[in-house]
Amino acid sequence: MNIGYVAYLLLAVLVVIFLSAAIRILREYQRGVVFTLGRFTGVKGPGLIILVPFVQQMVKVDLRVVVQDVPPQDVISRDNVSVKVNAVLYFRIVDAERAVIQVE
């Protein structure tokens, strides 16, 4: 095998690896919070997102309503009656930047 073919094959493999690390796709209900060298640079919307590999990182945030079931608990009311309390928690992220940066 000629060395020229090996070089072209190696170059093609490196280009594929670079492009697979650089291209991200966000769905309609997702937002991407982009960090460049660890510093916040912006929020990207749905669609095709191109990042600089190893320099930029992206955190995906889901904007859909999340349902979380709280386990039932037995509590005693003020008049000394045992009551079983059950709850469901609904929440939705409105601001992707604040959800990633300010909420732990």
Residues 57-76: pLDDT tens digits? 999 999 999 999 999 999 99
Cβ count near 32 (within 10 Å):
22
pTM for the full model? 0.75
- Percent of the residues in the chain that have a pLDDT greater than 90, as a whole number: 86
* Inter-CA distances, 19 with 9, 14, 51, 55, 56, Å: 15, 9, 9, 14, 14
Per the DSSP assignment, residues forming a β-bridge with 48 are 25
* H or E element that contains 39: strand 39-44
Residue in this structure with the two tokens 């959800």, named with its chain if needed: 99
Region 30-40 average pLDDT: 96
CA dist 64 and 104 (Å) reads: 19
Cα angle for residues 57, 58, 63 (degrees, 5° grid): 170
Mean residue pLDDT of the chain comes to 93
Average of pLDDT values for 15-26? 92
